[in-house]
Amino acid sequence: MDNKTNQRLSLGGMLVTLGIVYGDIGTSPLYVMNAIISDAGKMQDTIPEYIIGSASLIFWTLMIITTVKYVFIAMRADNNHEGGIFALYALIRNRARWLIFPALIGGAALLADGTLTPAVSVTSAIEGLKGQHLGPIEFSNNQLVVVLVVTAILLGVFLIQHFGTAIIGRSFGPIMLLWFIFIGVTGFMSMLTHLEILKAFSPYYAIQFLFSPVNKAGLFILGSVFLATTGAEALYSDMGHVGRKNIYGSWPFVYLMLTLSYLGQGAWVIGHYQDAAYRNLLNVNPFYEMLPEQIRLFAIVIATLAAIIASQALITGSYTLVNEAIGLKFLPRMLIKRPSNIRNQMYIPTVNWFLCIITLGIVWLFQTSQHMEAAYGLAITITMLMTTLLLFEFIKDKINQWAALGMVLFFGIIEVLFLTASLVKFAHGGYLTLFITLVILFVMVVWYFGNKLRENYERTSEYVSLMDYRKQLIQLSNDSTELLYATNLVYMTKVGPHYSIKRKVLYSILDKRPKRAKVYWFVTVNETDAPYESQYTVDMLGTRNIINVQLYLGFKNAQHVNVYVRQIVNDLIDQKVIDSQYPKYTTLKNRRVGDFKFVITMEQLMDLATDPKMSRWDRLLIGGRIFLQNITTSPAIWYGLKFSEVVEEPIPLMLYDPEILRLNQKEIRHAVKDTDQ
């Protein structure tokens, strides 16, 4: 779906929405009630009051967090129809400096916690196979077999990313539709056996349960309840893929099916918590147990497919999130591939294999879904809290400060409670996602603030006006005594207000070795807040061969500078602004554009003598930023110049101050002539 058509409400759009948006939240019934039973201790402790209170908490958590906060409020904060924490930040970032901190923290936590989604959902689905019969075949009860099957499935999912998922993606919607109908119908049938579970619709039972003595976990029960709404942030992030109206149209159906599934599982527990076969068990999954034997195998198959779709949605969502972070200069440049012609579909190898290694590591570290559930959800509560802080600034501007304050207090208090409850998960595996969060956050902080510091130091270094060097550049271009370096010499550098440019760029052209070209191009790439903006301006500086190009590309747009520059050359030739460049030798008839050579200056951090006034902290951030630049995707690949002729010139971040590096003359010795010779 393209960005325009997906804004319309349609049955096809809602079907696609089921496959893209609801994978995470839609597979929560596989493990939420299991986690709540584990909090009670043994199955015999899950008395009706406990289950009705838990089901009520789940229902109202989905209502307050997912429906009210994300569907009704957050999705109004769209950035040109795009959603998610980074799109929200891009929308409001100019209003206050402090907004950068919740954006960085929330984005890092969202990426980190997502590594658990594929592991816990696929493992929960495959665990249903234990002890099942398929004709003469009986599946083993050995958890190692489950781990091996889960590993094979997840590895396959990560391997196919390279080829693109456009074809199989078309089947996601129908499969998820079947999944939601299945969990809703089976939940409804089970619910009919114990209709007292319908008391869960009253918030009274949710509040009473939190302080009831039957709830041995106390407020910490919220850590398990929260698992039911972990996909809410993904719902907001995927808004740009399917459109707000299609989420509005499909969410009531999804919410109803989820509610029926949870109520059905709760009814089954009420009916079986005293059974001799279950009462002493510590780990029971009511999702599978409430199903008749005849359809259980089908349930496992459809649950596995839904879990794979949830994993796929998480992976592609991570690509989108990282792409946005790169555009906002939160993360270093990474190689981004487009495996199909679908605009939103991309493949980032670094992210793919990072997720693969971490996810498979989690599977082998925790082994069972019960252990994974104990670690799941801690980091995402941080992301939700950070989104609330960003929404405060949005609502303050759109409505008023009091409405914003009321919103942040209401949702903030609830999410702080969830965060506090989830802290108990730290010792049970939450430390892993928090560690990953801190690693990602550290990279973001170094890259973002390293960039800011570098720009500040550059502002104090020597800048010159490009206008002052027009005459020299024109003379060099016409000087036939110098060898022609390139027909079109393109410098990827920033030209600021009043034509300010780093002196080092002109030093490269005029001093190192005069680089004669027919046309000099100075190209500035500006990332904009509009996700898919694609525009340019041209300033000829009163000449026909010195051109200042400003590209304006949205933070979700891929950068293919060679394609853009070639288009601009043809546009200017058509407009007779520059001369045609008919090459002497070519395989193309009527070719009128000459060769290109792109120059990219590669900054290197010099030793401490460069600037003794630089603090240790500044040096750490700037040095870390340059280190990340050198080990990640090169600027040539980032700018789409892989198949172009590119010159990468190393330059110091700051020029040496001659006064600092000045040598004191000690003495001069003159050679004595030998008069005897």
What is the structure's pLDDT at 440? 92
Residue 301 predicted with pLDDT over 70: yes
CA separation for the pair 362, 354 (Å, rounded) = 12
| CB neighbour list of residue 222: distance below 8 Å, 6 or more residues apart | 57, 210, 417, 418, 421, 422
CA pair distance 201, 195, nearest whole angstrom: 12
Q: For residue range 42-100, what is the model confidence (pLDDT) as tens digits?
A: 888 889 999 999 999 999 999 999 999 999 998 888 877 778 888 889 888 888 888 89
- Is the whole-model pTM more than 0.85? no
Do the beta carbons of residue 255 and residue 201 sit within 8 Å? no
Whose CA is closest to 329, among 89, 59, 502? Answer: 89
Indicate whether 5 pLDDT > 50. no
Q: In the prediction, which pLDDT does 80 show?
A: 77
- Give Cα separations from 624 to 52, 324, 350, 649 (angstroms): 53, 21, 19, 20
- The helix (run of H) or strand (run of E) holding residue 371 is helix 369-375
Per-residue pLDDT band at 270 (split at 50, 70, 90): very high
Tokens representing 4 are 């325009």
Distance, in Å, from the CA atom of 251 to the CA atom of 72, rounded to the nearest integer, reads 11
Could you read off the pLDDT of 558-608 as tens digits, one per residue? Answer: 677 888 888 888 889 888 888 888 777 777 777 778 888 888 877 665 543
pLDDT tens, residue by residue, 143-175 = 888 889 999 999 998 988 877 655 556 678 899
The more confident residue out of 213 and 637 is 213
